[in-house]
Chain A
Amino acid sequence: MGDVVLNSGDTAFILISSALVLLMTPGLAFFYGGMVRTKSVLNMMMMSMVTIGIVSILWVIYGFELAFGYKAESAWYGNFSLSGLGGVVDDFTNNGGVYPIPMLVFAAFQLMFAIITPALISGAIADRAKFVSWGVFVAIWSTVVYFPVAHWVFAFGNKVGDVVTGTGYLAGKGVQDFAGGTAVHINAGAAGLALAIVLGKRIGWRKDPMRPHSLPLVMLGAALLWFGWFGFNAGSALGANGIAGLAFLNTQVAAAAAVIGWLLVEKVRNGHATSLGGASGAVAGLVAITPACAFVAPWAAVVIGFIAGILCALAVSLKYKFGFDDSLDVVGVHLVGGIWGSLAIGFFGTSVVNSIGLDGLFYGGGTALLGKQALGVALVAGYSFIATLIIGYAIEKTIGFRITKDAEIEGIDLKEHAESAYEYASSSRGGANL
């Protein structure tokens, strides 16, 4: 790549950030796993685990090319190629400009985003999805929804000289999404809403208690998510620089403020501040700051996080009002938090903190940026919701998406995985091939 010299600091930082982002998916498995009942914790965690397996394979075969390949020069998708990533080993990252890190490091980093996005959806359909059907869904959804949407949002085009080709539609429109408020969180949240509608309510929803079986697991999951999120947001700077530092600090303070916001709502409304509320508040704040983390000042990150905590704490009750069983609140946290964070850039965005940033309403930029942000929100949410409904019903009508009534009552862990998470009685036999 001509006179570009590899920057070992940047490269090391993005490698480590990639590992941090990967850790979020097992973290999500704990976060979700603790929230379901003892009879379905393993299935909940396995939906995340198998997503790591499926998406990683697809990414190498065609996923990265479909999202970030630029030869097709389309605003809507990357390149149709089964290259297996063998051809870019010697390339530097080129995404709207050349970065002094290897293309494969960028590919690894972006892979982790492609993994966690479908994994996030699984919370909407806890306790009741056929495991094989979930796997088929992940493969189709990634191909038809995530890879193209990642291109719309994250692909800034192949820059050679002054010519940039293949820029994604929303990136080209100037929609600001630093780390995935639209492509990851709104995308997963809208898909979660669609799948909750396709699969329907769990047996006994609103009648039987469906309390979280292990809040310490939820807290552990929230801790891993929070830790990994620094890689998610700061790593999106694609370099160890000031923008990464800004994103890092904003990530921290937004999550912290959201914890306080969510707990305040609970204390006022229910009389008690709960551990589930604290963990949920942290995630809501992290979601909301994701798109905005490199475009706003730290004081604004506090405001965005605090409002996210309040907003999402109120939003998780919507499912009872509208009657959809979004079991673990993918909509209330990721869709609502993602929309808020994406729109918040239109208010709090400022070029003072980031030279590629734009001024929002509060910085004299008028409503232009807010309008762009609304376009990004509407396009991603609309496409994801409709495409997921179609994919979901297609799976439901062909191989079936929901387990049988008996299996659901007895527990999906036993029926789908022939395992139970916790041993209560040691009266059993076997060990070899029975």
Chain B
Amino acid sequence: MKLITAILKPFKLDEVKDALQAAGITGMTVSEASGFGRQKGHTEVYRGAEYTVDLVPKVRLEVLVDDADAAAIVDVIVKAAGTGSIGDGKVWTTPVDQVVRVRTGERGTDAI
């Protein structure tokens, strides 16, 4: 099993979510995040005084998938999240040892 983690532009969340559902994904976890990559932060101006805001608002999306599906789902996310401009985010996968569904006690791929 794999955990796919995606850092997205917040306004791309709906598109990514719809694309994942169309690809058969039935559950996900989304949280608000902030950070910066190559695009760095942005500048805000208050009464003429400039402030550099380093941490940009992002959305963190997490999905659990079978090993066999991982590559395809990553592609779905990358395709839906991309705008072609700097700051589109990142997607990565991590191996997962065990998954348990709390209600039934099912384990492994049955719990995904």
A104 to B50, CA, bound (A): 49
Stretch binding the partner chain, chosen from B8-16, B39-47, B62-70, B74-82: B39-47
Contact with B along A312-347 (1 / 0, CB 8 A): 010011001000000001001000000000000000
- Cβ of A212: which chain B residues have Cβ within 8 Å of it? 46
- Cβ of B53: which chain A residues have Cβ within 8 Å of it? 209
Q: B residues engaging A (CB < 8 A)? A: 44-53
> Which among A211, A269, A313, A320 is the interface contact of B46 at CB below 8 angstroms?
A211
Q: Are B51 and A211 in contact (CB under 8 A)?
A: yes
Count how many pairs of residues, one from A and one from B, have CB atoms less than 8 Å apart in the complex.
30
Q: Are A270 and B48 in contact (CB under 8 A)?
A: yes
Q: Are A276 and B47 in contact (CB under 8 A)?
A: yes
A266 to B48, CA, bound (A): 7
The 10 A-B pairs with the shortest beta carbon distances in the complex, nearest first, are A270-B45, A316-B47, A209-B51, A317-B48, A276-B46, A211-B51, A211-B46, A276-B47, A212-B46, A316-B48
- Cβ of B50: which chain A residues have Cβ within 8 Å of it? 270
- Cβ of A313: which chain B residues have Cβ within 8 Å of it? 47-48
Bin the interface of chain A by size: 10 to 19
CB distance from B44 to the nearest CB of A (A): 7
Q: A residues engaging B (CB < 8 A)? A: 209, 211-212, 266, 269-270, 272, 274, 276-277, 280, 313, 316-317, 320, 329, 332
CB distance from B81 to the nearest CB of A (A): 27
- Cβ of A277: which chain B residues have Cβ within 8 Å of it? 47
> Which among B44, B48, B51, B52 is the interface contact of A269 at CB below 8 angstroms?
B48
Task: Name the residue of chain B whose CB is nearest to the CB of A262.
Answer: B47
A277 to B45, CA, bound (A): 10
- Cβ of B52: which chain A residues have Cβ within 8 Å of it? 209
A277-B47, A316-B48 provided; 8 other pairs, C-beta below 8 A?
A209-B53, A212-B46, A266-B45, A270-B45, A270-B50, A272-B45, A274-B46, A316-B47
Q: Are A329 and B47 in contact (CB under 8 A)?
A: yes
